[in-house]
Each structure stands twice: as structure tokens, then as C-alpha cells.
Structure 1
Amino acid sequence: MTNNHDGGASGPPSDGGPVLTGISVAVVAVSTAGSKHAEHTAGSARTRPPWVAMEDYAALIRENTPMRALCLPVTTGDPHVLAERILGLPTGVSAVFVVGLGHRESASVAREVTERGGPVVLTELDVLTAAVAAATITTLRRRSVPPRAGRVVVTGASWAPLLAPVLIASGVGDLSSWYERDAEAFPLRRLMEHNDVLVDLAGCAPEGAAPGRTVAVPADGFVYGALVLPGLLAALCGHGVRTLTVEVVAACVRALALITPADQVLPSAGDRLLVSAVARHVSRALGHPVPYRDQW
């Protein structure tokens, strides 16, 4: 095994792991008449329309894994209809990645598909959650604050319900939620005098509230999502995994944080260790053979 600066997470595995060639992933983009120009990524207007993001994620999967990526654009956000479309996909589809759907609707779709024996359903919000959590860990590290001692404030936490449990699973010791309705009683600037990192999901933090220690979601979610998705899919597919757990997302966080250079918040999209590191950490969390090699 090669020892790299990711804690040995990207060296070739001791066994071949499952063969991913021939496995398919469906990328589903939801863009309704009312959402094409009103999609939101946390507190910012979405800059990459869902159908464009679908094509870009599909290309990302093809370029970074041996899996086939199928595109499925839909014009309804109805969870039951979406679940039916997913359940009607070819049997070779091992995972479905959904773009352009809110967290409540996404949870409904995933629940119905799982209950009916369909493929694992992932969303763009899931991979964004992993990247934001990793950026939080690296921001603490850059301030020489161990995660267990870290105090993190999250604005608009309801936008990403998985973030809090993932941060806790990643070792963050103190987590607080803040909403704009709290501004009068607990001004954000004053609150940040006693906390280490601000995760501004709502995009409502006043300028200078936490300079140099604010983590935000980019308006173009693809920028963060692309760091996580290929490695995550490489680890999940081919094992019959049906649900995405907090532990799996936390494994993505560990991988990203470990390979992030000291002068960056997250690794670069072109980092040669990226996909294999995420795949290895997720596989370890699942107790599965590692599927990813530096050369397929």
C-alpha cells in the first residue's frame, strides 16, 4: 500500500474489490416551470440550471469512474411520480443521483424507493453537505482548533438537515443553530466572538461577522458536489447498498479533510487522490472491499 498524505486512503487495495464496469448510475434533474429560474442553493440563487448540472454530473461520473451515467430530465417535483420514474429504470442502475429537489421532497423520494426495493438515492444536497462539513473541519484545523474543542454556528440549519449529525459524527464538539429571527436577541457578530467557525447556509451573515472563518455553500453547487460524487458512487455501487447514512457522509468528510492542503479549505477538483480517497474511506465505513484503483 502506498502511504500518501491522505493517511493511506488512496493506495491500491489489497484485493480487487467489486468490478464497477457495466454498472449504471442515473442522474435525475428536476426542473419545473416554477423552479427553472428560482432554484436555490442555500442562501444564493442557483447559477447552474438543474438540467445543465445533470449533464455535467453525468460527464463527471463517466470521466472518473468506469460506470455508465444515464440522464433523466423530469419536469415534476412530485415525490411519488419521481419515485415511480426511478423504480422504472433499468435493473442495471445501481444508484440514482437527484439534482434540483428540496430536502423534504428528496427524503420522500428516497424513502419510497427504498421501501420498494429500488436503488440507493443520493441528492446534490448530500454531497454538498459532505463538502461543507469538510470545509468546516479544515477551517477549524487552520485555526489550530481540534474538532472536539471546536465551536460551530450554523445559519439556516433546516436547509441541510444532515449537516448537524454529520458534523457531530466528524467530531465537532459544540454546534449551535442561528436563524435571522435570532438577530435581535443574539446578534451574529457578537455570537461569533465566542465561536470558532460560522457555516452560513442561509447566506444571511453580515459582512465581517466571522472574517476568515466563514464557510458558505457556493451558488454553483457543482463546484463542491464534484469533489464527493465520483468516489462516493464508486464505493456504494455494486454492493446492494439501499440508503445513505450519516456514517457514510462522515467518511466522505474525513477523506476530503485528510487530503486538503494546509493552505486550502478543500482539495482541488483535479487532485489525483480525490476519487480514490473518498472511495476508500466510504468503503471502510461500509466494511466493503475497496473498489477504486488509481488505474481502472
Structure 2
Amino acid sequence: MPDALSKTIPIWCAVINRLLFGELHESHDLHTPEEFVGRFEHAQIEARLDGFVDDAESLDLDVPSLRSALGKPLHPSWITPDFSTQHLRSSTDYRQVVCCTASRRVIGTEASESGYIQGAGDDSEGWSHGLTPALYWKHQRQLLEAVEGDMLYMIQRLVIAYKCSDTEYDNAVNIGPTNLYVGTITSAMQPELYDGMVICRDQPPPTPDPGNKHRKRTKTLHLLCGDGKLGSRALRSQLSRILSFFNTLPSKDKPPKLLFACSNGKDLSVGVALTVLCMFFDDDYHFTLQTSNTKIDKTLIRRRLACITTAKPDANPSRSTLQSVHAFLMPREA
């Protein structure tokens, strides 16, 4: 079983329960599958939980809102081809987090993982054929009722329909209490929705329909950085252009509505939005066209990133992207 299922998710369940449901002490215990996590390792992990909770508290999260949204504490259970949790907690008391893997154990093949074969279906990119969680939940009944032989064709049809629909252009997500949005390159195809756009791409995006004379002209900054590590490294030198770009934005009574876009809407665009949140917003997320007087350190960066990931759970800036952000915001420590 992957460590992500046997250890990481149980850790998060325990930390979230302690953070959001402090009075429900019975939900604070760490639960790991005994067949995969030994008692000694379980005890080592459990001893570090209080420190993890302290780290989570330092992010200054909106705990009441998160508690209200979740409603109940979390409890993990596991299903593999060789193992399943025998006794599931009552759903009236907990939200069950089912950790399911298609990987199997072949004793002797990989001693470090007790025979666990990696890559046997745990990465959705290898088997989903483009089906995303949002598409699945939107068409759940249709997919579950489909004949297995028709499943691949149905998924391909749903994915193509989504890519051809207007909803793909409207994939930008609003970041918390701000007027900032993070999305993919296709979000930039609707520039009239924004006062300004920052687009991360190694070449200009498709030009909007020129026939629409009433389309609003939106100030746009193109940061020349493509996908992957090279793009993340290039971001470091491109971030300095943000200062002059913000000086060109119209000064209004309300903060400008800004879009940050990259190819997947999860990496470079998140890094740029994170930089802007640190530079132009105070601790109450009030915007100023002048750089904020708030001291920028690692704690502040973690808090601002938590604000983004709370609004956009699939935000996943790479290590290289975060290193570029740190180097720009804290050059003396880089």
C-alpha cells in the first residue's frame, strides 16, 4: 500500500480532527492499517501530531468555516485487493475517508515495501483517460450505470464535450476574500471579465475574437515561462515585472479584478498569485497598489499559500516554483 494511503492521509485526518474538532477527543487518535504500519512506527508518527497541529494553526486558517463545511470528524479506512477494513465507523459520527488502491502485494519483489508493486493503478493519469473528479461527480449516475464495454467511449465523449463547452473557459477560481482569480490559459479567452491578467506561457495565448468591437481591453502581462522545471526557474527572473505592471493598473475605489493563468492552472499561476498576495495584501487581505508594509517571511508565505489552496484545493505549485517565489520575495535568504 502506498505511504500516501497508509500514513499521509491518516496523519491529515488526525490533524484536521484535532484542529477543527478540539472538544471531540475521541476523534483525535491516529488510525493506521496494522497490516502495513507497525506499532513502533505508528507511535513515532503519533508523537509528532501535536507539532503538525501547531504548524497548521500558524497558517491562520478560517477554522469555523472549515468546520462548518466539513461537519464531522474524519476517519480513514482501507481497501486493497488483499485487505479491507473490517469495521467501518458509523457515518452518523464520522466522514469516512476510503483509501482504495488497485496495487497488490507480491512477497519478495520489493523488500522496502513488503512486496508492494508501485504504479499499479494509483496515479489517475495512467487510467482516467482525462476524466476529472468534477466530471465524474457531474455525470456520476450516467457513468455508474454504463456497460463496462462502453465506458471508455463515454469518458472520451464527456471530456471532448467539456473541452468544447464554455465551462472550460470559465474555470478560474476566486482566491478567498480577494479579487484575485487563478485558472488555465483558456480562462484568458474571456479578458472582458477582468481588469488585468498575468499569463505564464512561453508564447502568447490564442488571440480573442477580434470581431467583437465591444470587447473590453484588458491590461495583460505575459511572463515568459513555460511548463516544467525550466519554466519554474524562468519565473524567478520574470516576477520582477509584476511591480511595473501593477503601476499601470487603474486606481479605483475597489481592488482590480485580476486573473493569473498558466497551462494547468495549478503551478506557475499559483506561484504568481502567491507572490502578489504577499506583496500587495496585508494580514486582513486588504489590497493596495503600493507594496504592503507587511514583513515577508516563510510563515507569511505559508499562510498566503494556505489561503490559495483553501479556495483551490487542486493548486499544486512545484518545488521549483516555490523556490523561485521564495528567492524573489526573500532574496537575502535564497
TM-score (norm 1): 0.27
Larger relative contact order (CA 8 Å, sep ≥ 6): 1
Structure number with the higher strand fraction is: 1
TM-score (norm 2): 0.25
